[in-house]
């Protein structure tokens, strides 16, 4: 397929459509039946504070009850675990999210494990990770869930396509790999030890870049007509940059996500969607 200029996969627009659907559903619920999302922030990390603020704002906008717990940097692990236990038992709370990264000294794995799997709105608990890989009813992590929604919005049949994922983190790379595999893509996962990464990426009908390095993926690595999903959020000279060099990649791709306005807004709206799902509120397809 010859492509001159890629079509933009507009995450901001897609997220706002989904958000309106969620809002409409929640508005029909009785006041006491609204879903609740608890977000826990430990310490003063500026980026984490911004992310927590965005999540709180989005919750309020769609009508989810937001419970934000801001704990000082001096909080101890047992104190944090005690709060999680309280939230596990709180019937008003359907989703619990602990903002990562935690300050030094915390055992993030133990903290994630303490969240009840049925309230694990981020889908990071080992039970949900296991269910995701074994095809069970998992809470799907928000960023990969948002990526799948963007891919589906292209209308392209994913079955049988070669998907190349760059990055193997528990938050993005591994779960998006599981989800692409479950949709019958043929999968390649690249990471920092991959030999000849450019040639691996050139085989991708779908390329998902989750590396955390600005402009890491260049147009010469992109197969003509590929769908390019840029997950990266990098700050370069006060501006946001993705992991993909947009200018050159958009000359080759059929579809591409911008940064900002691509995967980021989808991540937040999927957090809202997961909260509703955990509250047991059924949704109509497409919302
Ligand atoms: P991690 O740092 O946890 O993982 C990065 C991955 O990239 C690792 O698997 C690493 O390989 C790989 N990598 C690093 N350098 C290279 C290299 N030179 N060649 C090949 N692979 C390399 O990051 P995350 O997955 O958490 O996030 C990735 C990016 O996505 C970040 O910019 C982050 O800010 C952004 N992000 C955006 C979200 C959104 O909503 N838009 C949500 C979450 C993250 P190895 O495993 O071998 O070390």
pLDDT of 73-104, one tens digit each? 999 999 999 999 999 999 999 999 999 999 99
pTM attached to this predicted model: 0.96
- pLDDT tens, position by position, 25-76: 999 999 889 999 999 999 999 999 999 999 999 999 999 999 999 999 999 9
Give the Å distance between the CA of 2 and the centre of ligand 1: 30
- pLDDT tens, position by position, 244-275: 999 999 999 999 999 999 999 999 999 999 99
Give the per-residue SS3 of the chain: CCCCCCEECCHHHHHHHHHHHHHHHHHCCCHHHCCEEEEEEECCCHHHHHHHHHHHHHHHHHCCEEEEEEECCCCCHHHHHHHHHHHHHCCCCCEEEECCCCCCCCCHHHHHHHCCHHHECCCCCHHHHHHHHHCCCCCCCHHHHHHHHHHHHCCCCCCCCEEEEECCCCCCHHHHHHHHHHCCCEEEEECCCCCCHHHHHHCCCEEEECCCCCCCECHHHCCCCCEEEECCCEEECCEEECCECHHHHCCCCCEECCCCCCHHHHHHHHHHHHHHHHCCCCCCCCC
Residue 285, pLDDT > 90, answer no
Q: All domains of the chain, ordered by start, with CATH? A: 30-118 (3.40.50.10860), 141-263 (3.40.50.720)
In whole angstroms, how far apart are CA 193 and each of 168, 173, 208? 11, 15, 17
145 is catalytic: no
Give the Å distance between the CA of 101 and the centre of ligand 1: 13
**Rounded distance, CA 31 to CA 122, Å?**
25
CA-closest residue to ligand 1 atom 22: 192
- Which residues lie across from 113 on neighbouring strands? none
In short, whether 99's Cβ falls inside 6 Å of ligand 1 is no
Both structure tokens of 158: 């994913």
Give the Å distance between the CA of 181 and the centre of ligand 1: 19
- pLDDT tens, position by position, 220-250: 999 999 999 999 999 999 999 999 999 999 9
Q: What mean pLDDT do residues 184-211 have?
A: 98
CB atoms within 10 A of CB 251: 15
Contact 93, 37 (CB under 8 A): yes
In short, whether 260's Cβ falls inside 6 Å of ligand 1 is no
239 is catalytic: no
User: Ligand 1 pocket test: which of 167, 201, 267 has the largest number of ligand atoms within 8 Å of its C-beta?
Assistant: 167
């Amino acid at each position: 397929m010859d492509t001159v200029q890629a079509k933009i996969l507009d995450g901001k627009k897609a997220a706002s459509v989904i958000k309106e659907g969620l809002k409409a559903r929640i508005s029909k619920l009785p006041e006491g039946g609204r879903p609740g999302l608890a977000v826990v922030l430990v310490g003063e990390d500026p980026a984490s504070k911004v992310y927590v603020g965005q999540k709180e704002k989005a919750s309020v906008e769609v009508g989810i009850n937001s419970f934000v717990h801001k704990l000082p940097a001096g909080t101890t692990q047992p104190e944090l675990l005690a709060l999680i236990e309280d939230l596990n038992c709180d019937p008003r709370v359907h989703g619990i999210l602990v903002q990562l990264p935690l300050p030094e000294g915390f055992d993030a794995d133990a903290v994630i494990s303490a969240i009840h799997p049925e309230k694990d709105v981020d889908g990071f608990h080992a039970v949900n990770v296991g269910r995701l890989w074994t095809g069970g009813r998992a809470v799907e992590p928000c960023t990969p869930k948002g990526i799948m929604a963007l891919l589906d919005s292209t209308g392209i049949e994913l079955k049988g396509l070669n998907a190349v994922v760059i990055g193997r983190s528990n938050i993005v790379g591994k779960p998006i790999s599981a989800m692409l595999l479950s949709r019958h893509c043929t999968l390649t996962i690249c990471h920092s030890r991959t030999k000849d990464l450019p040639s691996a990426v050139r085989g991708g009908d779908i390329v998902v870049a989750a590396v955390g390095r600005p402009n890491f993926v260049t147009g010469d690595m992109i197969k003509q007509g590929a769908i390019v999903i840029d997950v990266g959020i990098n700050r370069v000279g006060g501006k946001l940059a993705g992991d993909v060099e947009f200018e050159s990649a958009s000359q080759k791709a059929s579809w591409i996500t911008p940064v900002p306005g691509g995967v980021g807004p989808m991540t937040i709206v999927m957090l809202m969607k997961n909260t509703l799902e955990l509250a047991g509120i059924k949704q109509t397809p497409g919302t």
